[in-house]
């Protein structure tokens, strides 16, 4: 009985260490044949009071997957740049969207057509990961749609 109580206590403590990140409205941008890169967009909701960060992502459809954002350069031009992570405070929602934070799929190894699905694994700072299957959509059509994963 003592071992059972110790095990239950350990599981309860370890469960509270992990933030609960929910992913909604996820999709990958459809691109014309031969286009080497695409991007994934979604809403990340940190459902815990602990801070957590998206550190990296992986997909079988691209040679490299990077976290990016758009920022104004010194000359006032919007430029895309790689970022080390996407941070979320406790109970914060962060939107990965065109013109903001997003996940770049670089060096596509196949064409991405509307209606297909793309695997995407998200890796978080608390050691957890989420495996997703995101639909491929036209960006303009996708902006008004709601998806939950």
Q: Which CATH number covers residue 74?
A: 2.60.40.1890
Has residue 131 been placed in a domain?
yes
Has residue 149 been placed in a domain?
no
Distance, in Å, from the CA atom of 64 to the CA atom of 148, rounded to the nearest integer, reads 25
Distance, in Å, from the CA atom of 79 to the CA atom of 138, rounded to the nearest integer, reads 22
Chain position carrying tokens 């008004």: 144
Has residue 6 been placed in a domain?
no
Structural domain tally of the chain? 1
SS3 59: coil
Has residue 63 been placed in a domain?
yes
Residue 76's pLDDT is what? 79
Looking at the DSSP bridge assignments, the partners of residue 65 are: 105
Task: Name the residue range of residue 137's domain.
Answer: 19-142
The residue among 149 and 38 whose pLDDT is bigger is 38
Distance, in Å, from the CA atom of 99 to the CA atom of 80, rounded to the nearest integer, reads 9
Mean pLDDT of 35-41: 97
Paired tokens of 122: 């998200």
């Amino acid at each position: 009985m003592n071992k059972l109580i110790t095990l239950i206590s350990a599981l309860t403590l370890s469960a509270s260490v992990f933030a609960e990140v929910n992913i909604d409205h996820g999709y990958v941008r459809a691109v014309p044949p031969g286009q080497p890169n695409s991007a994934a967009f979604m809403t990340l909701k940190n459902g815990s009071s602990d801070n957590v960060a998206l550190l990296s992502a992986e997909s079988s459809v691209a040679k490299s997957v990077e976290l990016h954002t758009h920022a104004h350069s010194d000359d006032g031009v919007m430029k895309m740049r790689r970022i080390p992570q996407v941070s979320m405070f406790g109970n914060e929602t962060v939107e990965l969207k065109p013109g903001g934070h997003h996940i770049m799929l670089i060096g596509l190894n196949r064409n991405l057509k509307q209606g297909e699905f793309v695997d995407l694994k998200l890796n978080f700072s608390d050691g957890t990961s989420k495996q997703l299957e995101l639909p491929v959509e036209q960006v303009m059509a996708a902006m008004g749609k709601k998806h939950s994963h």
